[in-house]
Each structure stands twice: as C-alpha cells, then as structure tokens.
Amino acid sequence: MNFKDFGFDERLLEGIDATGYETATAVQEQVIPYILAGKDIIASAQTGTGKTAAFLLPIIHKIISSSNGHDDHINALIIVPTRELAVQIAQNLEGLSYFTSISSIAVYGGGDGASFSQEKNALSRGADIVICTPGRMIGHLAMGYVKLKHLQYLVLDEADRMLDMGFNDDIMKIISFLPPKRQNLLFSATMPGKIRELARRILHNPEEVNISISKPPEKIVQQAYVVFDAQKSALVKHLLRSKDFKSVLIFCSKKNNVKDLSRDLKRSGFSIEEIHSDLEQAMREQVLAAFINHRVRILVATDILSRGIDIDNIDLVINYDVPNDGEDYVHRIGRTARAETDGTAYTLINEKEQNKFAAIEELLGKPVTKTPVPEQFGETPAYQPRSGRSSNKRFPQKSRRN
Ligand code: AMP
C-alpha cells in the first residue's frame, strides 16, 4: 500500500519519501486507518515491523491538519521504556516531520542539570510531540510546569517492557495528569495478562491489531554451548577468534557481567566497548553511535540493547548469559540477520541456566543445536534440564564427569 492512499498531508509525504519509505508495512497498513479514524489501539508488534512510523505518521498528520492545534501545549505524549528508544523515536520523528512545522522533544534524563533545565524550558513552552521515559517525566510533572491540558494522543510503546521494568505506577501517575478525553495507542511485543489489565484501565473500546513475530527468522544460525560458568569467558574469546566477524554484539543479563567480561576481553587484546546503565548517558550514545557506524566491532551490552534498537549488519550475537525469557531471546538474536544479511547467534549455557534455556526452546518449538565445546576446554556438563525439551540428543557423550 502506498502512503498516498492514507490521504496524508503533502508535507508529510515529502518526509516519508526523504526517509526512504516506499510502501507501508503490515502493521502500518492495519494501524494507520484506525488512528486516523480516532480509535484507541492495542497492537502486538515488535521492533522491526515498522511500528514506530505506524503511530508517528498518523499523529503528525492529524496535528498538522488540525485547525484547533495548541501551539503552546503538548499534543502527543509517547512513553517508552529506555533512553535509547526515546532517542531513536525522536530521530525517526525528525526525519518524517522534516518538511512540517511539528515541534518535538525527547525527555529521558540521565544527563546533567543542564539537560534537565533544557527539557524544563521546552516542556514549559509546549511541544507538539513529547517522547519520554517514565521516571524523568514524573520528575518534571511534579514541578507543575508541564502543559498537558490539551493533550490529544497518548502512546505507550513497548508496554510489556515498561511493566517488566516496574514502571506500572509511574505510567498510571503520568496518566493522572492527562485530560480524560484523548486517543490512546498501546504497543507491546507480547500480550501477557498484565498488559491486558493495563489496556483495560487505559483504553476505550480499542481496536486490536496483531503483528507479532514470536519466532526468530529462519536464516539465523542458532547454536548453543553447554559449559561451566568458569569456561564462558575463554569460550567467548575462542568464538571471536574463530571467524572474521565484522560486527559482534555480546549480551549479558547483568551489568556486572558486562563489566567483568569487558575487562577480561580487553586484557586479552580485544578491542571492545561496553554499554550498561552505569555509563553516563552521553557516553552510551557515543558508544552506540560508534557501533552503528562500525567504528567499534565488538560491543558488550545488557538487555538495554535487545529491543527497539535498529542496527544493521550485525553478523554475530553471543548470549553470554541465557536471557530471562523466550521473547528476550528472540529480541536479542533478532539483532543479527536483519535485512538481507545472514547472522549467527551463540548462546552459552551454564548448569544453572539449563532449565531457563529449555523453556526458551519450548517457545521456539524446536531445540537449538548444542555444539560440542573444543577438547582444549576440558570437561563440560551434560545438558540435562529438569523441564522442557532436552535437545542434546546429538552430543550426550559430552559429559565427561563420570
Ligand atoms: P520499527 O519497527 O519502528 O523499529 O522500524 C524498523 C525499521 O524499519 C526502522 O529502521 C524504520 O525506519 C524502518 N521502516 C519503518 N517503516 C518502513 C517502511 N514503510 N518502509 C521501509 N522501512 C520502514
């Protein structure tokens, strides 16, 4: 479907063209007509489906074609779980609205006092579209200068992620500042019961759209290594040296693991960078930009980077820790093999993580190949999860403990 068919304003069509979008994606085709018609939406759609433009485009169109817009108030509020996602949406918005008079600001904190007062100024003046992380927005709301009286659109993006991060109360608090009559759009990669409950409290008669991709693309080569925890770091080094990978993303579940592994890799001569929540916001943005531009080849990160971040041409993802659930696994390995490129995803499983990994295999509907660890690593544990599928049928002899 062509974007002209939505009846978008010419200035917006120019921005879409300049961004390089030719036809609408599935989620855009389904969601945009509902938003234009003023409906509330609950959409299950993951990053990579084009969900951001699915809500940005109709909101921009409605704001620029509305005669009762309020220049000095906030028209749309987009709440997102992470600063990285806020920045990415702001950049997307900037491109799409380039030929319009839309004003916007991303409010995500983590910076210094100067950025807080910059945000304060913008929020006091009003901006058409505000993209925010919950905690930072609450900080501003508490001071009383945020102009939300004429707000028309509320977007909750990656709602499941926000609830997982404990933002439920913050979201409800922000909503208590909004006028009751408004259009609500909720996007979530998964639809667990708690999201339904949130939707029931916030949305009015929503239209439901389902574009979930809960399986990773077939072209990603997935392999797992069953090891003792103490063997993980050495195995990562071995894997990094095994092939000339151009761009590698290593995920750890905890920031301390990111720090420890990064230190160890640097000590062994690898040129790497790291991203986790202890890093200053400016530094995080700098590192991410260097990785996206391929100036940094290997990046070690927490799950901060598993969702919502659009980086092309990563050819290897390593799960140093098994992610907490299947959706996170799909998100993490989905960072590779985007667009036309192929990708490889290795997961390192220690004894404690075996049950968790078995549950992930359950969600995938098939076992992930367990690749034998090279002999020089010595003894390794057997894959014997208590529940879920056991997928070690090809390499049961790997255990050399008895
Ligand atoms: P998202 O799911 O919003 O994170 O979008 C994933 C990627 O698809 C981003 O790089 C978008 O810029 C891009 N994208 C969104 N809509 C389109 C479209 N209609 N045509 C081509 N690319 C798109």
Asked whether 21 lines ligand 1 (CB < 6 A), one says: yes
Calpha distance 381→225 (Å, rounded): 10
Write down the pLDDT at residue 388.
Answer: 37
Write down the pLDDT at residue 72.
Answer: 78
Mean pLDDT of the region 249-276: 96
Asked whether 17 lines ligand 1 (CB < 6 A), one says: no
Same-domain status, 248 and 380: yes
Quote the mean pLDDT of the chain.
88
Q: Which of 251-255, 257-261, 300-304, 360-364 has the lowest mean pLDDT?
A: 360-364
pLDDT band at 68; cut points 50, 70, 90:
low
Q: Let me know the angle formed at the C-alpha of 153 by 99 and 28, rounded to the nearest 5 degrees.
A: 65
- Reported as a single tens digit per residue, the pLDDT across 184-218 is 999 998 888 899 999 999 999 999 998 755 678 77
Same-domain status, 201 and 239: no
Whole domain around residue 242: which residue ranges?
220-401
Q: Let me know the angle formed at the C-alpha of 132 by 130 and 137, rounded to the nearest 5 degrees.
A: 105
Among 166, 191, 211, identify where a domain stops.
211
Asked whether 48 lines ligand 1 (CB < 6 A), one says: yes
Asked whether 331 lines ligand 1 (CB < 6 A), one says: no
Among 211, 244, 278, identify where a domain stops.
211
Q: Is the pLDDT of residue 128 over 70?
A: yes
Pocket test for ligand 1, best of 2, 92, 155 (most atoms within 8 A of CB): 92
Mean pLDDT of the region 45-56: 85
Contact between residue 191 and residue 198 where contact means Cβ atoms under 8 Å apart: no
Same-domain status, 224 and 205: no
Same-domain status, 49 and 149: yes
CATH code assigned at 15: 3.40.50.300
* Residue of 103, 101, 107, 94 whose CA lies nearest to 135: 107
Q: Is the pLDDT of residue 398 over 60?
A: no
Write down the pLDDT at residue 219.
Answer: 83
pLDDT band at 133; cut points 50, 70, 90:
very high
Asked whether 338 lines ligand 1 (CB < 6 A), one says: no
Q: Is the pLDDT of residue 339 over 80?
A: no
Q: Is the pLDDT of residue 400 over 70?
A: no
User: Strands 272-275 and 207-211, how do they pair?
Assistant: unpaired
Pocket test for ligand 1, best of 6, 21, 188 (most atoms within 8 A of CB): 21
Q: If you take atom 14 of ligand 1, which residue's CA is the nearest one?
A: 50
What three-state secondary structure class fits 59?
helix
User: Strands 129-132 and 76-79, how do they pair?
Assistant: parallel
The count of structural domains within the chain is 2
Same-domain status, 50 and 193: yes
Contact between residue 306 and residue 333 where contact means Cβ atoms under 8 Å apart: no
Asked whether 343 lines ligand 1 (CB < 6 A), one says: no
Same-domain status, 339 and 206: no
Amino acid type, 212: S
Among 191, 211, 231, identify where a domain stops.
211
Integer angstrom CA distances of residue 258 from 249, 278, 299, 306: 12, 11, 10, 14
0.85 exceeded by the pTM?
no
Q: Indicate if the alpha-carbon torsion angle 334, 336, 337, 340 is positive or negative.
A: positive
Same-domain status, 167 and 75: yes
Same-domain status, 370 and 225: yes
Which atom of ligand 1 is found nearest the CA of 51?
3
Q: Is the pLDDT of residue 399 over 60?
A: no
Calpha distance 348→359 (Å, rounded): 15
Asked whether 50 lines ligand 1 (CB < 6 A), one says: yes
Q: For tokens 């290594």, what's the residue?
A: 225
Contact between residue 241 and residue 268 where contact means Cβ atoms under 8 Å apart: no
Backbone angles phi, psi at 376, to 5 degrees: -65, -15
Report the percentage of the chain scoring pLDDT > 70: 90
How many A from CA of 53 to the centre of ligand 1? 7
Q: If you take atom 6 of ligand 1, which residue's CA is the nearest one?
A: 48
Q: Which of 58-62, 165-169, 392-396 has the lowest mean pLDDT?
A: 392-396
Q: Which of 14-28, 130-144, 238-252, 368-382 has the lowest mean pLDDT?
A: 14-28
